[in-house]
Amino acid sequence: MDEKRRLLLFALAALLFVFCAFLLVALALAAPLPPLRVVNHQTKECGEIFGGDECMDCFPPAGWENLGFASDVPCPEGYTVVENVDSTCQGFKAQFCCSEGHSGAAGHCEDLVMNSEKKQCAFVDDIQTCALPKQWTRKPDSVDVYGWTCPADYEWLDSLRCQDQEGGGGQATAESGGGQATPESGGEQTGTRCLPCLGTTLVGPALVGLWLLLKGRR
């Protein structure tokens, strides 16, 4: 009885460890980057801008230089501190950042197209010049760009070739995938669909192992 209780406590402790590890990973992925220290050497001004996150990069205005994270780099001596510095932010054109329920800021999803019949999503190179294959639709004018995301139960395709890129009316092709997607703005972004999937992968086997352990000790 004591041995069975010890095994049960050990299994529960292992399960709790896996859950906490998953929670820490989820929080780290969702957290925004620290503010960036930016300076204007011509006007001798110094300030901070939003550092972006897993789905967005931010840049200082013209004439300003990014020195790194504000927590690591103080304002140069003699520079005037400016409270509000305009910045430009660019979302990533990546599967994760254009998927429903993703963490982080909105991605760059203008080129996202969907096939509701086959429940598929894909990116095209340029939605403005693309003649979509049959059953594929672009963002309706009535839908806000921030609300145009791939539903959670849809499959991502690695590529979708437009008809006009096939020599006019050619058969469009799409390759099923789900690997990594690289943001166009230069940041690194994995193609992970959702954090709950990672949780299922980690916690599921632990629960099965616990059940088999208890069953074998009866």
- Residue 20 has a pLDDT of 41
Start-to-end Cα distance in the chain:
10
For residue 113, the cross-strand partners are: 122
pTM > 0.95: yes or no = no
Cα 166 → chain centroid = 31
Does residue 124 contact residue 162 with C-beta atoms inside 8 Å? yes
Strands 120-123 and 155-160: parallel
> Among 24, 73, 32, 38, which Cα is nearest to 51's?
32
3-state secondary structure at position 215: helix
For the chain, how big is the Rg over CA atoms in Å?
A: 24
Q: State the Cα–Cα distance between residues 137 and 108, nearest whole angstrom.
A: 17
Which contacts of 22-26 are long-range, i.e. CB under 8 A and separated by 24 or more positions? 22/198, 22/199, 22/202, 22/203, 25/195, 25/198, 26/103, 26/195, 26/198, 26/199
With residue 48 as reference, give the H or E element that holds it: strand 45-49
Q: What is the DSSP letter of 30?
A: H
- Residue 208 has a pLDDT of 57
- How confident is the chain (218 residues) per 10-residue block, as mean pLDDT? 62 54 40 87 96 92 95 96 92 94 89 96 95 94 90 95 60 43 38 44 55 56
The structure tokens listed for 159 are 């590529």
- Residue 27 has a pLDDT of 37
- Residue 25 has a pLDDT of 39
- Residue 12 has a pLDDT of 62
Tokens 């972004």 sit on residue: 189
